[in-house]
Structure 1
Amino acid sequence: MQSFRTELENPIVEKEIIELERKIREYQEGKIAEEKFRSLRLARGVYGQRQPGVQMVRIKLPFGKVTFKQLLRIADISDEYASHNLHLTTRQDIQIHYVSLDRTPELWAKLAQDDITLREACGNTVRNVTASPNAGIDPEEPFDVSPYAHALFSYFLRNPICQEMGRKFKVAFSSSERDTAFSYVHDLGLIPKIRVVEGQEERGFKVMLGGGLGAQPMIAYVVHDFLPENQLIPYAESVIRVFDRYGERNNRNKARFKFLIQKMGLEEVLRLIDEERIANKTKSFAIDWDAVPQPAPPVVLQVAEEPIDQFRYEIWKKTNVYSQKQVGFHSVYVKVPTGDLPTVNARKLIDGIQQHIADEIRITQNQGLLLKFVREQSLPHVFNVLDRLGLAAPGFDSVADVTTCPGTDTCNLGISNSTEMARVLEQLIYDEYADLVFNRELKIKISGCMNSCGQHGLAHIGFHGSSLKASGKVVPAAQVMLGGGTLGDGLGRAADRVVKVPSKRVTDVLRYILDDYAAHGMEGELFHDYYDRQTKDYFYRLLKPLADLTTLTDDEFVDWGHEETFHTAIGVGECAGVVIDLVATLLLEAKEKLDWANASYQAGAYADAIYHAYSVFISAAKALLLDKGINSSSHHGILKDFDAHFVETGELAIAGGFGERVLQINKHDPSEVFARQYLAAAIDFYEATKAKREVKDTVNV
């Protein structure tokens, strides 16, 4: 693998790739525990998939931005290492599947040549920072949020404070009050605002905190109506520090930030966030407004006239084409069925339109593509290119544009097939409710399980995979969710669970709902208002006949897209971290973090050195606690338990207590003097725990 290493220009990335290769080898030789290795590879975008022996690789694309060259590079990678397909995700990433673990370092190195990263695309980290795909061209935006999303992505990438949290942390920037990035279901959601102070305009953000989907969706709290732009990064850092210290680490089902707020109360969490600010690397962070410049519009001197299906073109233009805030230019939204783009089509797409659009494509939250800076005279050509590739279906982001996760195609947690269900429901709309391609106020979303990767929890009409039992057999089923969706300006609704039906009956569920809405909805009444007026119970009674299992037919025991009788085969999910419960592993981890702390200190990165030293305290203390059979559920719990079982019992003498010593981290600025003192204390503590462990091992021998 020497050849690909020497091609990299970024020494940090090169070091990470070499390290990944070494860790893979050590894991295969049995030198690294499965739990520890899983955490390591997830933080590098390598995710086990349903099929044994192969991996899903998630490619991290901040706010969904990808250039022609990058998209072609990813297509090449998928052809060489994966399954000749690009899967666009609801978090604006691209996933490729069926990758051999051994080849992931080489794959990463080739992606890095075009400034593409896998780092922290999975695992207990700050995940991909998402944003409204039309940020920068949105006629309603106060300002372009892209540079802010880029700054936050860059600041937390490889940042010591968020490498091994209890769970993932998600951030979204919406371009306007329409909230098209769904700020209200994120750990940290942001909507741009401008205020005028003494005649001067100031940029800032409305801040939403503690939202999330999953099996227990929660709507975020509005915690700031206006946070000045220079406080965005410091505030986010304080939030993440609190999550890292107090977040649950044992029970993955309670380990998201929303549950921390639920447990401690919003007021206490906000107090802790404020308390943490002194330790931040920076107290004010100036955002470079030009960090994400608008791409140059294409120069189209003359466009040859082409034959065109005028009727279909006009419908497509009404539903998929929008005027940008830049006068004379249009954005074109591309509906990508189930988010799957074969690599051969990706190449044909770029080849056909690259002279007619700007060199910047955005992946959308509903698994489509956004093309920017298209001139009026290029629209027929762009339509024809898309049409030849099967990508010119009308109704982008309408009821006919169904969002879905991969489900049982590749996901360990998938219960039922969501992709074929999506295709069937979309075709039903086109065949029976064609006028609804113009309706962008009604959304259908599907997940293969309750975890909401397909965003069913924020859909007007949502489904998630489940199962039922009948006649001694298992029936593939769908949980029907109704009434979710965006209200605007940081407000939203989580969908209600209404009824569970056999999966093959979701077509009738959709017919019942749409027909009832058409028959009984008031003139101009939005679905949310209609749903509230009729009530959840009304829809339960409407759909209850479809839940009758006494009328099952043989084909209903077979899932969508399958030929064999259904059975549940759920694996172990990897989105959350695992508890590392090996004492020796934790002590080795503490030593590794001590090395990182020393290196950061020598480099003058004092804030990083301090946080690495903090991690030394935590890992070493947890090792000794586990040696006593005590498994603390958070970093804060480790501090308390160590004092109770080691300091207060006199087993280890620490003046003032262990918790007091460690929590000096949030009582001092990250200066060189404090970094030196704190690092020295961490070294002393590590040496003491190692000596204690060695004494015990000697006694046991």
Structure 2
Amino acid sequence: MQSFRSEIENPFVSEEIIELDRKIRLFRNEKMDEDKFKSLRLARGIYGQRQPGVQMVRIKLPFGRVTGDQLLRICDVSDEYSRGRLHITTRQDIQIHYVSLDRTPELWNELDKDDVTIREACGNTVRNITGSPEAGIDPDEPFDITPYAHATFKYLLRNPMNQEMGRKFKISFSSTDQDTALSYIHDVGLIAKIKDGQKGFKVIVGGGLGSQPRSAEPVYDFLPTDQIIPFIEGVIRVFDRYGERSKRMKARMKFLIKDIGLEAFLDLVEKEKLALAYQSYPISEEGFEFDRSVVDNIKVPKIDIKDVQGYEQWIKHNVFDQKQSGLHSIGIKVRLGDFYTPQARKLANLIKDYAANELRFTLRQDILLRHVKSELLPLFYLELKELGFTEIGFNATSDITACPGTDTCNLGIASSTGIADVLEDVIDQEYPQYKNNRDIYIKISGCMNACGQHNMAHIGFQGMTMRTPDKRVAPALQVLLGGGALGNGEGRFADKVVKIPSKRGPQALRLILDDYDKNKQDGENFMNYYDRKEQTYFYDYLKHLSSAEDLSAEDFVDWGNVEKYEQKIGVGECAGVVIDLVATLLLESEEKTEKALASLEEGNWAHSIYNSYSSMINTAKALLISENKKTNTQIGIINQFEELFVANGRISLNTTTFPDYVYQINRNKPSKDFAKSYMEDAKAFSEKAKAFRTLELADADK
């Protein structure tokens, strides 16, 4: 395997790409622990697929914004390193599949040429920051959240405090009280507000989906814009230090807040303020203003529309007025979030030539074109129709959200894309009245992790299995009802109603829609209807579908498959020899002090300090692991190290305790002098630990 040499201009990215290539070679040569390599790989957007030997690469696109040039670059990468298919995620990312691990440094190198990154798109990091796709064009928005979401993304990217947290961390920005970025399911959700003429945000924290969904709780009704980044940084630092790390299912921030209470959590955030790099972080809107002249100067070609009825339906359902007079956005329904590079290339050139060179991917796995003037709508209709992009149903009942499920995901239990495809056909062919209905949303996940957001849907399906009386295993679906967003940071989660064989999913949907059509009261939406009827009614109504005693051979073949279903977890991750994790952690501690020195020399005191802190934590964790101790949280590591190594004199810290040694981080303002002394403390601690470990191993060999 040859070493990769980056030729990009950004020295930080170049260094990261070269580091990724080096770590891949170390891993291939069995000189790097598999778990540590996995952590590094995931933080670079590289995720093991269900299929052995290939990777899914997630391309991080903050708030779903993409220019035509960036989309063309993504197409080039997909064609060269993958199979030409682009998958839009519910976090407004793009995923490409079947990528060789060894080629990922080259892939990243190519993407960066148009300022596109894969950094922190997966793993225990701050994931892609989502935002209302209509931000900047919504007639009802108090202001454009785009500059604020972008500034937050830039501030957190490569920030040492969010590289190796206990679990992922999610942030959203919503333009209006309609909350189209779904703040209530995020670790930090922000909703644009104006108070006394000042711009700010309502802030809520601690939301999440998964097997135990939890709504975020309000913290501020109004927080000025210059305070959002300091607050987010304080929250992340507390989560990093106090959050669970070993028990993966309990490692999200929502569990930390549930365990200690919101008030205690916010007290910890308050105590971090002194250590923050900025007490106020003003965010400029410069560079984000819309230049109307770009669109006004576009020449309008003469277009003859023959399909007048189709055009009028498209205008009615897929075209929306912007707050900019005479301009429109165009919604494109992308079935299951999948489209291909020939379509994407034409779309990229279309927005470059006839719009403002920008589109946004949506949280419903669709595309929103922006800044199209009225006179160009006929042209866009003909061009999009040729691409298969004029289907009505954008952001409607027939626009079903689904994760990849067992197609490519290691964690998938049952096919989500297969059943989603069938259910869309059921609606299109049998329930035309729901094709453009925006009161009922259907979402599907292939497992309990809820990447398809099934448990916040009006009608949700979760991939599962069920056993027959003779112990055979069939693919199944948990039916959930009654969830949905309520607006202004509030929402509710769907109730689990009944588990049925997957092949009965279409029948279940028919029964639910038929019952609603027959029994709803005038003007009654689906959530109110569900509340009136209640969970038990729907269980009794659908119970006959749940029997596993009368399954046919067809019921043992999942949707979109031809072979008999087998319950299994994908192999996806590359195999490797597990080596000395203690040695790996100690080596990483040295690397972090090197990064601390580099940040110090750059004048970035806060980054230097956090790298030194991380070095101390890694060093302490290494010695605790050597004695088979639990290292669930950083606070636990700090306290346990004091008890087992310092208090009894096994390691001396010059008359101070280990907590006092480490907690200098939040007792000092960031400064050059403190960053330098703290880095020297981290290096000295690392040397003491290595010497202790050397003696320990020597004694063990005697």
Please list, as runs of the form range in 1=range in 2, the aligned pairs for 1:413-452 lying within 5 A after superposition: 413-452=411-450
Are positions 1:650 and 2:645 aligned together? no
Residue equivalent to 1:677 = 677
1:610-629 alignment runs, 5 A limit: 610-629=609-628
Determine which of 230, 247, 250 is the counterpart of 1:251.
247
> Does the Cα contact within 8 Å between 1:298 and 1:355 map onto a contact in 2?
no
Counterpart CA distance in 1 for 2:335 and 2:570 is: 26
Please give the per-residue CA displacement for 1:628-673, whole angstroms capped at 9, x wherever unaligned.
1112200000011011111222222332310122112111111122
Q: Which residue of 2 aligns with 1:75?
A: 75
1:308/1:384 contact within 8 Å kept: no
Contact in 1 for aligned 2:78/2:96 (Cα 8 Å) = yes
Q: Does 1:521 align with 2:517?
A: no
1:220 aligns with 2:216: yes
Count, aligned residues: 693
Return the letter of the residue paired with 2:540.
R
Query: Match of 1:238, as an amino acid?
Result: G
Change (3 A) 1:298 1:557: farther
Deviations 1:56-101 (A, max 9, x none): 0111111101111111111111111101111111101111110011
TM-score calculated relative to the size of structure 2 = 0.96
Deviations 1:301-326 (A, max 9, x none): 33322233222222222221110000
Name the CA distance, whole Å, in 1 between partners of 2:134 and 2:398: 21
> Which amino acid letter does the alignment assign opposite residue 200 of structure 2?
G
Please say which of residues 302-311 and 325-334 is displaced more in the overlay.
Answer: 302-311
Query: Equivalents in 2 of 1:468, 1:126: separation in Å?
Result: 35
The amino acid across from 1:205 in the alignment is F
Q: In the alignment, what sits opposite 1:367?
A: 365
Contact 1:208/1:221 (<8 A) preserved: yes
Q: 2-side partners of 1:261 and 1:107: how far apart?
A: 39
CA shift in 2, pair 1:645/1:7, >3 Å: closer
Moved more, 467-476 or 651-660: 651-660
Query: Is residue 2:268 matched to residue 1:268?
Result: no
CA distance in 1 between counterparts of 2:383 and 2:60 reads 27
Structure 1 residues without counterparts, runs of 5 or longer: none
* Unaligned ranges ≥5, structure 2: none
Query: In structure 1, how many angstroms separate the alpha carbons of the residues matched to 2:485 and 2:497?
Result: 19
**8 A Cα contact 2:413 2:569, kept in partner:** yes
Alignment map for 1:32-71 (pairs within 5 Å): 32-71=32-71
Q: Counterpart of 2:635? A: 636
C-alpha distance in structure 1 between counterparts of 2:204 and 2:387, whole Å: 40
Tell me by how many angstroms 1:536 deviates: 0.9
- After TM superposition, list the pairs within 5 Å mapping 1:344-423 onto structure 2: 344-352=342-350, 354-423=352-421
| Residues in 2 aligned to 1:695 and 1:421: alpha-carbon distance in whole angstroms | 60
Q: CA deviation at 1:352?
A: 4.6
Partner of 1:180: 180
2: distance between equivalents of 1:320 and 1:80? 33
Task: Give the letter aligned to residue 184 of structure 1.
Answer: Y
Question: Aligned residue for 1:168?
Answer: 168
TM-score after normalising by structure 1: 0.96
Q: Check conservation: 2:619, 2:689, Cα contact below 8 A.
A: yes
In the alignment, what sits opposite 1:203? Answer: 199
For 2:10, the aligned partner's letter is: N
Counterpart contact for 2:55–2:572, Cα < 8 Å: no
2: CA distance, partners of 1:114 / 1:158: 18
Question: Bigger shift: 268-277 or 467-476?
Answer: 467-476
> Which whole-Å CA distance do the structure 2 matches of 1:451 and 1:362 have between them?
25
Task: Label 1:2 to 1:567 Cα distance change in 2 as closer, same or farther (>3 A).
Answer: closer
Equivalent residues of 2:68, 2:349 under 8 A apart: no
Distance (whole Å) between structure 2 residues aligned to residue 680 and residue 350 of structure 1: 51
Contact 1:213 1:452 in 2 (8 A): yes
Aligned residues: CA RMSD = 1.7
Contact 1:150-1:292 within 8 A present in 2 as well: no
Contact 2:418 2:559 (C-alpha < 8 Å) held by counterparts: yes
Matched position secondary structure for 2:464: strand
Aligned equivalents of 1:443 and 1:267: distance in 2? 35
Question: Would you say the 8 A contact 1:443–1:460 is kept in 2?
Answer: yes
CA distance in 2, matches of 1:588, 1:4: 23
The CA distance in 2 between the partners of 1:122 and 1:298, in whole Å, is: 40
Q: Distance in 2 between matches of 1:121 and 1:429?
A: 34
Between the aligned partners of 1:573 and 1:115, the Cα distance in structure 2 is: 29
CA distance in 2, matches of 1:263, 1:430: 46
Mapped pair 1:283 → 2:279:
yes
What is the CA–CA distance in structure 1 between the aligned matches of 2:231 and 2:208, rounded to whole Å?
Answer: 19
Show CA shifts across 1:435-484 (max 9, x none).
Answer: 21231121000111111111112110011110101143211101111111
Query: Post-superposition shift, 1:573?
Result: 9.0
- Partner-residue secondary structure (3-state), 1:670: coil
- Whichever residue aligns with residue 410 of structure 2, its letter is N
Partner secondary structure for residue 372 of structure 1: strand
SS in 2 for 1:492: strand
**8 Å contact from structure 1 (residues 5, 109) kept in 2:** no
Contact preservation (8 Å) 1:408, 1:417 = yes
Question: Partner letter of residue 690 of structure 1?
Answer: K
Q: Give the SS at the match of 2:465.
A: strand
Letter in 2 for 1:485: G
CA distance in 1 between partners of 2:686 and 2:63 (Å): 40
Check if 1:143 corresponds to 2:139. no
**Identical pairs, percent:** 54
Task: Report the counterpart of residue 324 of structure 1 in structure 2.
Answer: 322
Shift of 1:379: 1.6
Aligned 8 A contact 1:308 1:380 in 2: no
AA paired with 1:367? Q
Deviation at 1:591, TM superposition (A): 0.7
Which residue identity does 2:562 align to in structure 1?
Answer: E
Paired residue for 1:106? Answer: 106
Q: Does the CA contact (< 8 Å) of 1:298 and 1:357 recur in 2?
A: no
Contact 2:52 2:572 in 1 (8 A): no
- 2: CA distance between counterparts of 1:581 and 1:168? 26
Deviation at 1:132, TM superposition (A): 0.4
Question: Structure 1 residue 377: deviation in Å?
Answer: 2.2
1:540 maps onto 2:539 in alignment: yes
1:467-519 Cα shifts (integer Å, max 9, x gaps): 10114321110111111110000000111111111111111111111111111
Alignment correspondent of 2:568: 569
Looking at structure 1, the residues matched to 437 and 413 of structure 2 have their Cα atoms a distance apart, in angstroms, of 30
Moved more, 131-140 or 684-693: 684-693
Q: In structure 2, what is the Cα distance between the partners aligned to 1:410 and 1:62?
A: 24
Q: Write out per-residue CA displacement over residues 270-324 of structure 1, whole angstroms, 9 at most, x where no aligned residue.
A: 1101111111111100101124343642634333222332222222222211100
Given that 1:56 and 1:96 are in contact with CA atoms closer than 8 Å, whether structure 2 keeps it comes out as yes
1:456 corresponds to 2:451: no
Q: Please report how far the alpha carbon of residue 626 of structure 1 lies from its aligned counterpart in structure 2 after TM superposition.
A: 1.2
How far the C-alpha of 1:233 sits from its partner, in A, is: 0.4
Q: C-alpha offsets along residues 600-629 of structure 1, whole Å, 9 cap, x if unaligned?
A: 122221111111111111111111111111
Match of 1:688 in 2: 688
Quick one: structure 1 residues 359 and 501, their matched pair in 2 at CA, closer, same or farther if it must change by over 3 Å? same
Counterparts of 2:487 and 2:415, CA distance in 1: 32
1:528-575 CA-to-partner distances (Å, cap 9, x unmatched) read 11111111111111111111222322211111011111111223798x
SS at match of 1:498: strand
Partner of 1:16: 16
SS at match of 1:442: coil
8 Å CA contact retained: 1:329, 1:375: yes
1:480 paired residue number: 479
Label 1:580 to 1:532 Cα distance change in 2 as closer, same or farther (>3 A).
farther
Helix, strand or coil: the match of 2:697?
Answer: helix
Q: Distance in 2 between matches of 1:375 and 1:600?
A: 47
